[in-house]
Amino acid sequence: MPDPNLIPLIVLLDDVRSLHNVGAVFRTADAFGIEAVWLCGITGRPPHRDLRKTALGAEDSVAWRYFPSRSEATAALSERGALSLVLEQAPTSVLLEDFSPVPGQAYGLWVGHEVYGVNNALLEAAHAVLEIPQFGAKRSLNVSVAAGVSMWALARRMRKIG
C-alpha cells in the first residue's frame, strides 16, 4: 500500500546514461514527496558513488526499483493501476501546464535518454505526452531539470486535488 503522504507518481528513467542525472532525480523526488523512482535499461542504479554525489542520500529515502526492460516496467505500472505519462516534445504532446491529473489516479512519468529521448513505443502507448514550454534557441532541457520541472508541476496539482 502506497504511503498516503506521498504523491501517487512514479518517475521512470529509461536508458538515462548519466549517474548525476539519476542522482538529481532521486533528490528532487524526495523534495516533492514522489512515491518512487523506477530505473530501466542502461540507467545506473544505487549504490554508486557518482549517483550518491547528486542524490545526497535521497536514494535511501525514495523507494526505487530496477527493471531490465521498459516492457517489464510498463507491466508493473499497469499492475499498480498507474497511467503512463511521457515527457517529450512530440506532435501529440500537451503543455505540462494544461494537463489536469485525475484526483486519486496514480501516474508513471517516463523520462528518456539524454540524446534520443523517450522510446517511440512508449510515446504510442502513453495516456498523455507532456511537453514543457520553452522559448530559447535550444528548446532543450537537461533530463534531470526537465524531470524536476515536471515533478514540481504534477506534485503541485496532485496535492491540491488529491
- Counting runs of H as helices and runs of E as strands, what totals does the chain give? 6, 7
pLDDT at position 109 is 98
pLDDT at 107: 98
The predicted pLDDT at position 48 comes to: 93
Helix (H, G, I), strand (E, B) or coil at 84: strand
What single-letter DSSP state applies at residue 116? T
Distance, first Cα to last Cα, the chain: 16
Q: Nearest-5° angle of CA 139, CA 120, CA 88?
A: 25
CB count in 10 Å sphere of residue 71 = 12
Listed residue (13, 3, 7) closest to 119, CA to CA = 13
- Region 7-161: CATH code: 3.40.1280.10
pLDDT per residue over 45-68, tens digit each? 999 999 999 999 999 999 999 999
**What is the pTM (predicted TM-score) of this model?**
0.95
Phi, psi (deg, nearest 5) at residue 118: -85, 140
User: What's the full length of the chain, in residues?
Assistant: 162
Confidence of residue 161 (pLDDT cuts 50, 70, 90): low
Region of 14 please: left (phi>0), alpha (psi -120 to 50) or beta: beta
Q: In this predicted structure, what is the pLDDT of residue 2?
A: 66
Task: Note the pLDDT tens digit of each residue in 64-92.
Answer: 999 999 999 999 999 999 999 999 999 99
Q: Which residue has the cell 523520462?
A: 111
Give the model confidence (pLDDT) of 98-153 as tens digits. 999 999 999 999 999 999 999 999 999 999 999 999 999 888 899 999 999 999 99
What is the residue-wise DSSP string for 11-49? EEEES---HHHHHHHHHHHHHHTEEEEEEETT---SS-H
Domain ranges, ordered by start, for the chain: 7-161
Q: Which triple of cell numbers denotes residue 1? A: 500500500
Instruction: For the chain, give the percent of residues with pLDDT over 90.
Output: 91
pLDDT band at 4 (very low <50, low <70, confident <90, very high): confident
